[in-house]
Chain A
Amino acid sequence: MTAYIEFKNVSKSFSGKPVLREMNLAIDKGEVMFIIGTSGVGKSVTIKHLIGLLRIDAGEIWFDGERVDQIPERNLAPLRKRIGMVFQSSTLFDSMTLAENVALPLRKHQGMAHHAALEEAKRRLAQVYMDEYADRYPTELSDGMRKRAAIARTLALSPDVVLFDEPTTGLDPISARRIDRLIRELAKSLGVTAVVVSHDPPSIFGIADRVAFLYRGVVHVVATPAELRASPDPIVQQFINGKSSGPMETPGF
């Protein structure tokens, strides 16, 4: 069976420094796949390739039976409608209210009229319990609230896949677990495929279906959280237990 999302021998360098080296990863439809690894190992880079925010140097990327790494920027809109992304920093636009932020993709991708898009945006904000802040500006809100609004903006287009770049980083534990629950619900009730870049052990072991551990530019291991915990691999054990010494002396490269 062909995977829903597939990275085949993907390589990427920045200023001559290799980040991904013939990396392979397959993600199934409807699963919550976590990509973990040390800082700078290429986790965010990996997911940005899927939606054309970065271009691979070599290899292939496939999504739902279609090769997507060669689609030119001007033709990427349909793909970006199907694959949404929640960025590491919430990336809400400061000059717009929350409702206007959420309405923007509805107006641009779906051609909705301004007022209709705002009404829909308020409904989307209600799904993340943020409707009472619809007319507030991002700078007036906490990190957790901004993150929830950013998720509402991404979900406004009802994407098939959502990419989360460190969704719980910088949040208090309660907000972080609420985000986890939201990701899990998306997969369970709507069948959304979630690809989550994370460092957060409670998230990884709480909601992941499978985990891909990225090390030295390749996927070192793909396993369920239980298999990962039980793995005899000293590199995996060092990472998940957060030990400063071990075989992974130099994180990343």
Chain B
Amino acid sequence: MSLFRQRIERIGTALLDAAGAAIELWLVYVSTIAGILRGLSRRRGGRGRPRGELVRQLFHIGNKSLIFIIVTLGFIGMVMAYQACLQISRVTGDFSQIGPQTLRLIVSDFGPTITGMMLATRVGAGIAAEIGSMKVTEQVDALRMSGVLPIDYLVVPRFIASIIMTLMLTTIGSLVMFAAGGLTANYSWGVNPNLFFDLSQVRPRHLVLFVIKAATFGAAIPVVAGFCGLRARGSSEGVGWATTAAVIGSSFAVIVLDFLISAAALFVTGGDL
């Protein structure tokens, strides 16, 4: 009986902790949006972000991720096109739809999602480690003592930079993915480039979905990573925990949001995607 009770209590505690964390995560998101609004209407010397911080974050999140995204999405594009050609060759051998359908898949799903997943690891880990280190060394407390809201100072610039740069990196990564796929299909299977690089299957709704997904993933990563960093406790072990949690949490957020946005898009378009 006592063992049963202990287990129930443990489950209850875990559920309460999870609910508390979900509420905290939501508060970080709401505070970030409020911080952006405060920044737009800030008075002189107000609670805005530090000078030059947005540019620094744009560089860290965008420029420093460019090679990583190009290489990763390029290879995935190659593998994807090769596998598609291989499967088609076993069934009909008609490669005419390989390019257009690959592009459609990249624009409506793979481009934003794979870029989002990659950024969740690189950017999410970086943000959590930086904010987590500041938390455990009391720099976040020092910010509060200096009259600065930590969310405004630490999360808002990363949030804005991440949305802008995720959109740009997703665009670049998707182009590289498509180009690498086209070259692979041509080199390995002799698919005519004119046939592969056919844009006719991409409709405006796919581009809308592309932008929505990229912007949402770009917003989710710094919020989840910032939340994990601000929850860091103790010393280096706490920072390590925060970094791991940020990578898992932001990757998970990208996958779940991808599912939800895709489902919503199917619902809105009546299944005509």
- Which residues of A are at the interface with B, using a C-beta cutoff of 8 A? 48, 51, 53, 73, 76-77, 80-81, 84-85, 87-89, 91-93, 95-96, 104-105, 107-114, 117, 153-154
Contact = CB atoms under 8 A, between A and B. Distances in A.
Contacts of B46: 108, 111
B45 A87 contact: no
Contact of A87 (B53, B141, B148): B141
Contacts, number: 62
27 contacts: A51-B145, A53-B141, A53-B144, A53-B145, A76-B144, A80-B144, A80-B147, A85-B142, A85-B145, A87-B138, A87-B141, A88-B138, A91-B137, A91-B138, A92-B142, A93-B142, A104-B148, A108-B146, A108-B147, A108-B148, A109-B146, A110-B45, A111-B45, A111-B46, A112-B45, A113-B44, A114-B51
B203 interface: no
Nearest to B134: A93
A105 B145 contact: yes
B45 A108 contact: yes
A41 B44 CA distance: 43
Contacts of A87: 138, 141-142
Interface string B51-62: 101001000000
B50 interface: yes
B83 interface: no
Given A80-B145, A81-B147, A111-B46, 4 more contacts: A76-B144, A89-B137, A108-B147, A111-B44
A154 B146 CA distance: 8
A169 to B, nearest CB: 13
A92 B143 CA distance: 9
Given A104-B148, A105-B147, A91 B45 contact: no
A89 B134 CA distance: 11
Interface in B137-178: 137-139, 141-148
B122 interface: no
Nearest to B47: A108
A84 B45 contact: no
Q: Which of A73, A107, A114, A153 has the most CB of B within 10 A?
A: A107
B131 to A, nearest CB: 12
B90 interface: no
Contacts of B5: none
Interface in B185-238: none
A92 B45 CA distance: 19
Contacts of B141: 48, 53, 85, 87, 91
A93 B139 contact: yes
B147 A109 contact: yes
A71 to B, nearest CB: 13
A77 B51 contact: no
Contacts of B142: 85, 87, 91-93
Contacts of A93: 139, 142-143
Contacts of A113: 44-45
Contacts of B145: 51, 53, 80, 84-85, 105, 154
A87 B147 CA distance: 15
A168 to B, nearest CB: 17
Interface string B121-139: 0000000000000000111
Contacts of A88: 138
B243 to A, nearest CB: 18
A51 B144 CA distance: 10
Contacts of A76: 144
Nearest to B148: A108
A96 B52 CA distance: 11
Nearest to A76: B144
Contacts of B43: 111
A105 B144 contact: no
A84 B147 CA distance: 11
Q: Which of A76, A77, A91 has the most CB of B within 10 A?
A: A91
